[in-house]
Amino acid sequence: AQSVTQPDIHITVSEGASLELRCNYSYGATPYLFWYVQSPGQGLQLLLKYFSGDTLVQGIKGFEAEFKRSQSSFNLRKPSVHWSDAAEYFCAGGIKAAGNKLTFGGGTRVLVKP
Amino acid sequence: EPEVTQTPSHQVTQMGQEVILRCVPISNHLYFYWYRQILGQKVEFLVSFYNNEISEKSEIFDDQFSVERPDGSNFTLKIRSTKLEDSAMYFCASTGNSPLHFGNGTRLTVT
Protein backbone atom coordinates (compact mmCIF):
# COMPACT_ATOMS: atom_id res chain seq x y z
CA ALA A 1 0.00 0.00 0.00
CA GLN A 2 1.14 3.53 -0.67
CA SER A 3 2.29 5.42 2.38
CA VAL A 4 4.13 8.53 3.45
CA THR A 5 5.73 8.71 6.86
CA GLN A 6 7.06 11.66 8.79
CA PRO A 7 8.97 10.24 11.75
CA ASP A 8 9.13 13.46 13.76
CA ILE A 9 5.91 14.77 15.28
CA HIS A 10 7.48 17.88 16.80
CA ILE A 11 10.74 19.71 16.17
CA THR A 12 11.96 22.72 18.09
CA VAL A 13 14.63 24.86 16.50
CA SER A 14 16.24 28.16 17.40
CA GLU A 15 15.73 31.11 15.10
CA GLY A 16 18.61 31.28 12.66
CA ALA A 17 19.45 27.60 12.99
CA SER A 18 19.08 25.08 10.21
CA LEU A 19 16.05 22.84 9.88
CA GLU A 20 15.58 19.40 8.38
CA LEU A 21 12.27 17.58 8.30
CA ARG A 22 12.22 13.93 7.40
CA CYS A 23 9.86 12.22 5.00
CA ASN A 24 9.89 8.60 3.86
CA TYR A 25 7.67 7.09 1.22
CA SER A 26 6.58 3.64 0.22
CA TYR A 27 5.27 3.31 -3.31
CA GLY A 28 5.51 0.68 -6.02
CA ALA A 29 7.18 3.19 -8.31
CA THR A 30 8.72 6.59 -7.74
CA PRO A 31 5.88 8.84 -6.68
CA TYR A 32 5.41 12.51 -7.23
CA LEU A 33 6.31 14.14 -3.93
CA PHE A 34 5.22 17.37 -2.35
CA TRP A 35 5.77 19.40 0.77
CA TYR A 36 2.96 21.57 2.10
CA VAL A 37 2.96 24.00 5.03
CA GLN A 38 -0.01 24.83 7.23
CA SER A 39 0.17 27.92 9.40
CA PRO A 40 -2.33 28.17 12.26
CA GLY A 41 -5.83 28.75 10.94
CA GLN A 42 -4.66 28.56 7.36
CA GLY A 43 -4.93 26.10 4.54
CA LEU A 44 -2.22 23.96 3.01
CA GLN A 45 0.30 25.92 0.98
CA LEU A 46 2.55 24.16 -1.49
CA LEU A 47 6.24 24.67 -0.68
CA LEU A 48 7.77 22.54 -3.42
CA LYS A 49 7.31 19.48 -5.57
CA TYR A 50 9.40 16.71 -7.09
CA PHE A 51 8.36 15.10 -10.33
CA SER A 52 11.57 13.86 -11.92
CA GLY A 53 15.03 15.02 -12.93
CA ASP A 54 17.19 17.01 -10.55
CA THR A 55 16.91 15.42 -7.13
CA LEU A 56 17.42 18.72 -5.30
CA VAL A 57 14.37 20.92 -5.69
CA GLN A 58 13.99 24.50 -4.62
CA GLY A 59 10.79 25.87 -3.22
CA ILE A 60 9.33 29.00 -1.82
CA LYS A 61 10.35 30.72 1.42
CA GLY A 62 13.94 29.47 1.11
CA PHE A 63 13.08 25.78 1.44
CA GLU A 64 14.62 22.95 -0.52
CA ALA A 65 14.15 19.22 -0.54
CA GLU A 66 16.27 16.33 -1.72
CA PHE A 67 14.88 13.18 -3.26
CA LYS A 68 16.93 10.09 -2.41
CA ARG A 69 15.67 6.97 -4.14
CA SER A 70 18.05 4.68 -2.25
CA GLN A 71 16.62 5.84 1.07
CA SER A 72 13.02 6.35 -0.13
CA SER A 73 13.26 9.80 1.37
CA PHE A 74 12.32 13.35 0.48
CA ASN A 75 13.62 15.49 3.32
CA LEU A 76 12.88 19.18 3.58
CA ARG A 77 15.58 21.64 4.59
CA LYS A 78 16.05 25.28 5.32
CA PRO A 79 19.49 26.74 6.15
CA SER A 80 18.27 29.43 8.55
CA VAL A 81 14.78 29.46 10.03
CA HIS A 82 12.75 32.53 10.80
CA TRP A 83 10.11 32.84 13.52
CA SER A 84 7.49 32.91 10.76
CA ASP A 85 8.46 29.35 9.78
CA ALA A 86 6.69 28.03 12.87
CA ALA A 87 3.94 25.88 11.36
CA GLU A 88 2.99 22.33 10.57
CA TYR A 89 4.67 20.72 7.58
CA PHE A 90 3.20 17.90 5.57
CA CYS A 91 4.90 15.62 3.10
CA ALA A 92 2.59 14.08 0.51
CA GLY A 93 2.88 11.67 -2.37
CA GLY A 94 0.86 10.94 -5.46
CA ILE A 95 1.11 8.74 -8.51
CA LYS A 96 0.51 11.53 -11.00
CA ALA A 97 1.74 15.04 -11.47
CA ALA A 98 -1.80 16.42 -11.56
CA GLY A 99 -5.29 15.14 -10.98
CA ASN A 100 -3.89 13.56 -7.86
CA LYS A 101 -5.21 11.72 -4.90
CA LEU A 102 -2.48 12.58 -2.43
CA THR A 103 -1.38 10.48 0.50
CA PHE A 104 -0.21 12.66 3.37
CA GLY A 105 2.27 12.02 6.12
CA GLY A 106 1.24 12.72 9.68
CA GLY A 107 2.85 16.14 9.73
CA THR A 108 5.69 17.67 11.70
CA ARG A 109 4.99 20.66 13.90
CA VAL A 110 7.90 23.10 13.97
CA LEU A 111 8.37 25.41 16.92
CA VAL A 112 10.88 28.25 16.60
CA LYS A 113 12.61 29.54 19.72
CA PRO A 114 13.80 33.15 19.79
CA GLU B 1 -2.73 34.53 -7.44
CA PRO B 2 -6.06 32.69 -7.74
CA GLU B 3 -7.24 30.95 -4.60
CA VAL B 4 -9.57 28.20 -3.55
CA THR B 5 -12.10 29.72 -1.17
CA GLN B 6 -14.15 27.85 1.39
CA THR B 7 -17.15 28.92 3.42
CA PRO B 8 -17.89 28.97 6.25
CA SER B 9 -14.58 28.95 8.06
CA HIS B 10 -16.23 27.36 11.09
CA GLN B 11 -19.49 25.47 11.35
CA VAL B 12 -21.04 24.13 14.51
CA THR B 13 -23.92 21.70 14.19
CA GLN B 14 -25.82 19.22 16.27
CA MET B 15 -25.51 15.51 15.77
CA GLY B 16 -27.98 14.26 13.19
CA GLN B 17 -28.20 17.56 11.33
CA GLU B 18 -27.29 18.04 7.70
CA VAL B 19 -24.44 20.35 6.78
CA ILE B 20 -23.22 21.69 3.49
CA LEU B 21 -19.65 22.84 3.12
CA ARG B 22 -18.99 25.15 0.23
CA CYS B 23 -15.99 25.68 -1.97
CA VAL B 24 -15.16 27.83 -4.93
CA PRO B 25 -12.29 26.18 -6.81
CA ILE B 26 -9.88 28.05 -9.03
CA SER B 27 -11.81 28.91 -12.15
CA ASN B 28 -9.90 27.03 -14.86
CA HIS B 29 -9.28 23.90 -12.79
CA LEU B 30 -10.83 20.60 -13.78
CA TYR B 31 -10.31 18.31 -10.82
CA PHE B 32 -11.88 18.93 -7.43
CA TYR B 33 -11.30 17.24 -4.12
CA TRP B 34 -12.36 17.08 -0.54
CA TYR B 35 -9.95 16.07 2.19
CA ARG B 36 -10.43 16.08 5.92
CA GLN B 37 -8.18 16.30 8.94
CA ILE B 38 -9.44 15.09 12.27
CA LEU B 39 -7.68 16.94 15.07
CA GLY B 40 -4.26 15.43 15.64
CA GLN B 41 -4.52 13.05 12.72
CA LYS B 42 -3.40 12.89 9.11
CA VAL B 43 -4.97 14.75 6.24
CA GLU B 44 -7.16 12.11 4.55
CA PHE B 45 -8.53 11.94 1.04
CA LEU B 46 -12.32 11.79 0.85
CA VAL B 47 -13.35 12.18 -2.77
CA SER B 48 -12.27 13.45 -6.17
CA PHE B 49 -14.59 14.88 -8.78
CA TYR B 50 -13.98 15.32 -12.49
CA ASN B 51 -16.21 15.95 -15.45
CA ASN B 52 -19.27 16.29 -13.22
CA GLU B 53 -18.92 12.96 -11.53
CA ILE B 54 -17.04 11.29 -8.71
CA SER B 55 -13.81 9.84 -10.07
CA GLU B 56 -12.61 8.25 -6.86
CA LYS B 57 -13.70 8.02 -3.25
CA SER B 58 -12.24 6.64 -0.06
CA GLU B 59 -13.76 4.23 2.41
CA ILE B 60 -14.60 7.21 4.60
CA PHE B 61 -16.89 8.63 1.92
CA ASP B 62 -19.95 6.54 2.71
CA ASP B 63 -23.60 7.10 1.88
CA GLN B 64 -23.96 9.99 4.27
CA PHE B 65 -21.59 12.06 2.14
CA SER B 66 -22.31 13.56 -1.24
CA VAL B 67 -20.68 16.11 -3.50
CA GLU B 68 -22.14 18.38 -6.07
CA ARG B 69 -21.11 21.04 -8.51
CA PRO B 70 -24.41 22.87 -8.73
CA ASP B 71 -23.17 25.57 -11.07
CA GLY B 72 -20.00 26.52 -12.88
CA SER B 73 -18.22 27.82 -9.83
CA ASN B 74 -19.25 26.08 -6.60
CA PHE B 75 -18.32 22.65 -5.33
CA THR B 76 -20.11 21.41 -2.23
CA LEU B 77 -19.76 18.60 0.28
CA LYS B 78 -22.95 17.52 2.03
CA ILE B 79 -23.08 15.42 5.15
CA ARG B 80 -26.64 14.20 5.56
CA SER B 81 -26.74 13.23 9.21
CA THR B 82 -23.67 14.36 11.09
CA LYS B 83 -22.00 12.24 13.73
CA LEU B 84 -19.64 13.30 16.47
CA GLU B 85 -16.78 11.66 14.60
CA ASP B 86 -17.37 13.93 11.61
CA SER B 87 -15.84 16.77 13.59
CA ALA B 88 -12.77 17.74 11.59
CA MET B 89 -11.22 20.32 9.34
CA TYR B 90 -12.48 19.83 5.80
CA PHE B 91 -10.29 21.03 2.95
CA CYS B 92 -11.35 21.60 -0.59
CA ALA B 93 -8.70 21.43 -3.30
CA SER B 94 -8.56 21.87 -7.03
CA THR B 95 -6.08 21.37 -9.82
CA GLY B 96 -5.74 21.61 -13.55
CA ASN B 97 -2.36 20.45 -14.70
CA SER B 98 -0.51 21.30 -11.52
CA PRO B 99 -0.21 20.28 -7.90
CA LEU B 100 -3.24 20.63 -5.69
CA HIS B 101 -4.27 24.06 -4.47
CA PHE B 102 -6.02 23.91 -1.13
CA GLY B 103 -8.49 26.22 0.49
CA ASN B 104 -8.17 27.40 4.08
CA GLY B 105 -10.60 24.78 5.29
CA THR B 106 -13.88 24.63 7.17
CA ARG B 107 -13.69 23.52 10.76
CA LEU B 108 -16.77 21.42 11.45
CA THR B 109 -17.72 20.84 15.06
CA VAL B 110 -20.50 18.35 15.76
CA THR B 111 -21.97 18.55 19.25
Cβ partners under 8 Å of residue A39, min gap 6 = A45, A87
Are the C-beta atoms of A18 and A79 separated by less than 8 Å? yes
Of A103, A97, A29, nearest to A69 (Cα)? A29
Average pLDDT rounded to a whole number, residues A71-91: 96
Instruction: Residue A90: list chain B partners with CB under 8 A.
Output: 43
Q: Which residues contact B1 (CB under 8 A, 6 or more apart)?
A: none
Q: Is the pLDDT of residue B98 over 80?
A: no
The mean per-residue pLDDT over the stretch A86-91 comes to 96
For residue A62, what pLDDT is reported?
96
Mean pLDDT (whole number) for A47-55? 89
Separation between Cα atoms, residue B98 and residue B72, nearest integer Å: 20
pLDDT at A98: 52
Q: What is the pLDDT of residue A70?
A: 92
Q: Is A16 an 8 Å CB contact of chain B?
A: no
Output the pLDDT for position A97: 56
Q: Dump pLDDT digits (tens) for B23-81.
A: 999 988 989 999 999 988 889 999 999 989 999 999 999 999 999 998 878 999 999 99
**List of residues 6+ apart from B62 with CB closer than 8 A:** none
B8 prior amide bond cis, ω within 30: yes
Smallest CA–CA distance, residue B100 to chain A, in Å, is 7
